[in-house]
Amino acid sequence: MSIINSFSFKDGEVTHRSRFLRSDTFKANMSENRIVVSEMGTMAYPDPSKNFIFKAITFLNHTVPDFTDNGASNIIKYGDDYYATSETNYIRKIDPVTLETQDKVDYMKYLPVNLASSHPHYDKEGNAYNVGTSIADKAKTKYMLFKVPAVAEKVSDKSKFVPALKNVEVACTVPCRSLLTPSYYHSFGMTDNYFIFIEQPLKLDILKMATAYMRGVNWATCLKFCPEENTLIHLIDRKTGKLVETKYHTETMIVYHHVNAFEDDGHVVFDVIAYKDNSLYDMFYLNKLKENPGFHDDAYCKPSYRRFAIPCLRQGHCSWRGPGEAQIHNSQCCKRERRQTDVPVRGTLSRF
Ligand SMILES: [Fe+2]
């Protein structure tokens, strides 16, 4: 379940509020007193006491899964609206003061994305930028970077809710390496002039997802780690919406969170928390937590903080200024930040 907390500061006092997100998932689970909506790590199965027809209908409903609206990952702002979000196509509007749950909004009504990141970026004007995945739409799977303008559309009928998403603009599409196994991502990077999108070798196996219910497994098991594949780094020019022609790749790594991104001395510099594999995911299963509540287990991959500096000229294309491969830690632009944070810099970039 998703629980929202807020802290308000006024006249030297702090007020704390806390409410469950009253999502459709919350209501359905509470009314049945069990989990009846599937989540990433928990597949919901029909009550064993129900009859065959009920079970058959439940099975058919899950053949094309409808995702949860249990926004337990983050709060995002589109226009003047605040939403609780996870990474599905549903977000739930909330009142930022009372934390009351309001309208349910489906990305797919405004943009053909089945999944979307829960970590958008904002510019100085308050425009929001996010990325989603459009799966097998018109026989193509692609990643879509999109902009939700800060200024919401004025409506004459004030009682009618018009989500800021109605004015969404596609900033760029990035073709996926494969039709049925798009990369999983949890965040992306943004500088003044570029989006940074990492196409990593942790993938969603769409065929496995479609058959997960039938096979009795949860959707998290449909994440496929492909250690034999490298990690592609896409740069997108925000002004033109075009992919920078040069593609960069680095060693196999799994990234959930981008930490920072900026431009300096002709480079796009970005920091991520990286893992060598996806064993981190396994750590959060209840049986594992019960076995090992302190997370003291060397079996799980430890995170490392990595900085990448991509040589890039502004004129809409990248210019590789070194030989075929370059050590990132040689990049001059990292010197100042390295002094400040003592960041260990590792990894190599090479021309694709
Ligand atoms: Fe996150």
In a 3-state reduction of DSSP, which class is residue 2? Answer: coil
Distance 14 CA to ligand 1 centre (A): 26
Answer for the pair 68, 43: CB distance below 8 angstroms, yes or no. no
Distance 125 CA to ligand 1 centre (A): 24
Do the strands 194-199 and 231-237 form a parallel or antiparallel pair, or are they unpaired?
antiparallel
Distance 345 CA to ligand 1 centre (A): 22
Describe the chain by its helix, strand, coil percentages, rounded to 5: 20, 35, 45
Distance 74 CA to ligand 1 centre (A): 7
Distance 48 CA to ligand 1 centre (A): 35
Distance 137 CA to ligand 1 centre (A): 27
Interacting residues of 124 by C-beta distance below 8 A, sequence separation 6+: none
Q: What is the DSSP string of 145-178?
A: EEEE-SSPPP-S-TTS---GGGG-EEEEEEE-SS
Distance 292 CA to ligand 1 centre (A): 23
Other Cβ atoms closer than 10 A to 36: 16
Residues 83-103: pLDDT tens digits?
Answer: 999 998 999 999 999 999 999
Burial of 352: CB neighbours in 10 Å, binned 0-12, 13-18, 19+: exposed
Interacting residues of 150 by C-beta distance below 8 A, sequence separation 6+: 79, 125, 126, 127, 128
Distance 273 CA to ligand 1 centre (A): 11
Answer for the pair 43, 217: CB distance below 8 angstroms, yes or no. yes
End-to-end CA distance of the chain: 43
Of 69 and 42, the structure prediction assigns the larger pLDDT to: 69
Distance 118 CA to ligand 1 centre (A): 7
Residues 205-230: pLDDT tens digits?
Answer: 888 887 777 777 777 788 889 999 99
Point out the least confidently predicted range of 67-71, 179-183, 299-303: 299-303
Residues 9-35: pLDDT tens digits?
Answer: 999 999 999 999 999 989 988 888 887
Interacting residues of 58 by C-beta distance below 8 A, sequence separation 6+: 45, 46, 50
Distance 86 CA to ligand 1 centre (A): 9
pLDDT confidence bin for 340, thresholds 50/70/90: very low
d(CA 279, CA 76): 28
Interacting residues of 141 by C-beta distance below 8 A, sequence separation 6+: 133, 134, 135, 176, 178, 179, 180, 182
Tokens of 203: 């993938």
The residue assigned the tokens 């990593």 is 200
Distance 120 CA to ligand 1 centre (A): 10
d(CA 275, CA 256): 9
Do the strands 13-20 and 3-10 form a parallel or antiparallel pair, or are they unpaired?
antiparallel
Helix axes 206-215, 52-63, angle to 10 degrees: 170
Domain residue limits, the chain: 69-176, 180-352
Residues 133-167: pLDDT tens digits?
Answer: 998 888 889 999 999 999 866 666 667 788 999 99
Q: Span 279-299, mean pLDDT?
A: 74
